[in-house]
Structure 1
Amino acid sequence: MLLVDRQCILPSSGQPYRHAVTEMKGLVVPTVGRDGPDGEVGPLRELPGDQPSNHAGIDQAAIRQRHGVWIRGHAHNVTRKPDGNRFEVVDSCCLSSLISPRLQQRPLKTDTRSKPRPTPNEKVEPVTDFHPIPEPRTTLTHANCVVSTPLGYRPLHLDLHVPPGDGPFPVLLWIHGGGWVTGSRVWTVDQRFHERMVARGYAVADVDYRLALEATYPAQQADINAAIHWLRHHASALRIDPGRFALLGESAGGQLAGIAGLTGTGDAAVQAVILWYGPVDLSNLRDQDDPFTEPAALLGGPLAERTAFARLASPLHNIHPDAPPFLLVHGTEDETVPFAEAVGFAEALRAQGVRCDVLPVEGAGHVFTGASVEVGTLTEAGADFLDDVFNRLRPDASRAAM
């Protein structure tokens, strides 16, 4: 099934080609075919629908040998086939999206070999998993605010939830997770997150950023900074306090919140950061030579080839004495981002004289699965932390950023 078909240009030679995405029983595989004389897409190949979603089970050499698909680099690294007439590639970023923890929970349909091809009149079962209809967001006051229009990309938005009253209210920017390759600003872990924060007197901004399949780092950090700039610029009209800005990022969004909080200056500065099970050291992850991991998708290639770049993107390697206070909320049984990583990050911050509170969530894995407490209590704990941080600001501190 052809889902996407767009004209592109090969960076290396300037030759036109078409980028196509095929979907086969839940497995999304981009292939590239050189334009024929009539502008048609060249021969496309597909991986079989029974390939496992766990990357550890993918035999890359066998795939190349059996199916003639070259697995190499990203979409712009197009490999010329031996006959010189076709260009085909499996995008490593796309494969990394298939192995994200969220997607591993969605089993692939593996019985395609036993089924004949459908006839023209036969009804074809859709392969798309539909998301549920969203609940009304009763706290939403400003929807789909355009904060940035990066050239060549989609406009980036945020949704703002402001408490009733004159304000100005402190603002918390929510940065979603998803392994940098999936996710949405409307996804939350606590289903009553906005209600709880607004009731505590906080405005909440749900922030967009480009995913790694759209643009590699540091595009994501630039997008978050753009949201901070936009909110500060319109602070008076939005009834928010430009001197009381905080970030809350979960999982991959935690890495982005951490690096934005540590590197933001001037109008991009924030006064507090909360991380929910966020990775803080991209230079020390597993599978350093693997181009198919999600961190490799974020950084544009294998981590082993981008060690210095990975450190630049890692909160752990950007700590300084003037960093804002941090709260780390982390499951003690997290196997995706181990709890020890949060402990080490807290120790490094404290060594620089920076406040860092750690809230262990006993028995919880990643995304607080198996937690012994209701996730709403963790949202409330974050509000308590922000109350304390902002109450300690000097009376003129909030006006300094105006």
Structure 2
Amino acid sequence: MNVRKNAGQFNIDPEQIVIWGDSSGGHTAVMTGITPQDKTLDTDVYNGFSCEVKGIIDYYGPADITRMNEAHSTMDHAGADSPEGLLIGGLSVLVNPEQAEPTIIMNHISQEVDIPPILIIHGNKDRLVPFEQSVLLYNDLKQKGKDVEFYKIEGADHGGPDFWSDDVLGIVQDFIIRGG
């Protein structure tokens, strides 16, 4: 369902949509927010309704599945039966770079194409999605001149109450109020 198309039903301003996700949902939010014009990734027809958003909030999402095993984690991220392997059709990530390549966020970002502002929040003790994944994304966005904010939550693991504290939610609220 296209949210903009159904804005009246949801009582929202279709020009003020901010997308937010955590973990794989963070990856989905970023990919959705930075690729509204990429028809190779869009399998639905929206009859002229844009999928553009005003901002993107990424809570500890992966950025490059081919590099997830480079940092400490509690699981293998490259095997055919890993979540990353299943994402690309049940294939080994490192043996199938052509299937993994479209999932790498940085491959969809260029200096020439405008993207909405991005807020990244990640715990530096994440045992599932390595903190380094957000560092990779942040550094790429900064290098390409994009509007990005990055907050490290000291000692935070993958999810949990640290991400829902008043301080962190205040950062998110400020980002949303600014329109991303």
Asked if 1:291 corresponds to 2:83, the answer is no
Q: 1:308 to 1:240 in 2, by over 3 A?
A: same
Q: 1:337 to 1:241 in 2, by over 3 A?
A: same
Number of corresponding residues: 160
- Equivalents in 1 of 2:95, 2:25: separation in Å? 23
Q: Give the number of the structure with larger relative contact order, counting CA–CA contacts within 8 Å between residues 6 or more apart.
A: 2
Asked if 1:242 corresponds to 2:14, the answer is yes
CA-CA distance at 1:341 after TM superposition: 2.1
- Aligned mate of 1:320, from 99, 110, 114: 110
8 Å Cα contact 1:255/1:314 also seen in 2? no
Matches within 5 A, 1:2-401: 147=1, 229=2, 231-265=3-37, 267-286=50-69, 287=76, 290-300=79-89, 301-321=91-111, 322-368=114-160, 371=162, 375-389=165-179
Stretches of structure 2 lacking an aligned partner (at least 5 in a row): 38-48, 70-75
- Equivalents in 1 of 2:5, 2:118: separation in Å? 25
Map of 1:27 onto structure 2 = none
Return 258-267 or 356-365, whichever deviates more.
258-267
Map of 1:107 onto structure 2 = none
Map of 1:51 onto structure 2 = none
CA-CA distance at 1:239 after TM superposition: 2.4
Decide which structure has greater strand share.
1
CA-CA distance at 1:262 after TM superposition: 1.2
- Equivalents in 1 of 2:94, 2:125: separation in Å? 27
If the length of structure 2 is used for normalisation, what is the TM-score?
0.79
Kindly provide the amino acid, as one letter, of the partner of residue 332 in structure 1: N
Kindly provide the amino acid, as one letter, of the partner of residue 250 in structure 1: D
If the length of structure 1 is used for normalisation, what is the TM-score?
0.37
CA-CA distance at 1:308 after TM superposition: 2.3
CA-CA distance at 1:237 after TM superposition: 4.1
- Equivalents in 2 of 1:296, 1:307: separation in Å? 11
8 Å Cα contact 1:248/1:274 also seen in 2? yes
- Equivalents in 2 of 1:366, 1:288: separation in Å? 15
* Over 6 Å off, 4+ runs: none
Q: Which has the larger radius of gyration?
A: 1
Decide which structure has greater helix share.
2
| Post-superposition CA distance 1:183-216 (Å, at most 9, x none) | xxxxxxxxxxxxxxxxxxxxxxxxxxxxxxxxxx
Map of 2:41 onto structure 1 = none
Stretches of structure 1 lacking an aligned partner (at least 5 in a row): 1-146, 148-228, 391-402
8 Å Cα contact 2:68/2:129 also seen in 1? no
CA-CA distance at 1:288 after TM superposition: 6.7
8 Å Cα contact 1:334/1:364 also seen in 2? yes
Kindly provide the amino acid, as one letter, of the partner of residue 386 in structure 1: I
